[in-house]
Structure 1
Amino acid sequence: MRRMLIGMSQEKLGDALGLTFQQVQKYEKGANRIGASRLFQIGRVLGAPVEYFYEGLDGEDGGVVAAEPVHFVMDRLSTAEGIQLNSAFFAIEDPKLRKRILDLIKQLAGDNEADESGGELPHI
């Protein structure tokens, strides 16, 4: 997810690490394990501390602490579409416009509490 958030391709990450994009793909899909030194390298290239890759894990058995619905949301957010949507949304500087767009999205998704004021959604 970090790679996609900063707009880096698998090929570019692979080049920076001296790997093929296929190897990066295998790491991302979990097909191959990542050693500690490689994880450190990946973190440096992506501008993230090693701890970033362990967020959401507890210290005892490596199990994920967060509840299952959070994983579902994170799975959606970490897709290319999810990252593009979030990047575009937060690029909107006007907070009132962001709120109106959020209300519209909630309404389209069938959320009955889309407009907390109780009125109709404003036209965008």
Structure 2
Amino acid sequence: MRQQPVLVYDGDCAFCTSSVRFAERRLRPRCAATPWQFTDLTELGISRRRAEHEVLWVTPTGAVHGGAQAVAKLLLSAPRGWPVVGALLTLPPLRWAAHGVYRLIARNRHRMPGGTAACALPSSPAARKQP
């Protein structure tokens, strides 16, 4: 069994990679961060489609949290005042707002600072099929 949570993100997305690197440097969360492209997704109990769709936080016991709740879990694992922010993001109505903001950013991550065309989510179901 893993000893620490795993943050799974899109390593092909420059915005996602930059965001994770920023979090590692500034927030110092207690987790292992890894691109889904270099991860045994089956071992973590997550599908490729879900990994392509959102950032994921996988606990040592195998619970999976996605999107804004994965960000909240990351903040909860960080030192200093960040756990307070993470806890607030788990409570309604902030949880609902965080979900909406996360979805907006995720859909437009290729337009965000540092984003590239590689950051765009696959546009059709056919493009999402596993090889």
TM-score calculated relative to the size of structure 1: 0.31
| Higher strand proportion (structure 1 or 2) | 2
Q: Which has the larger radius of gyration?
A: 1
| Higher helix proportion (structure 1 or 2) | 1
Higher relative contact order (CA 8 A, sep 6+): 2
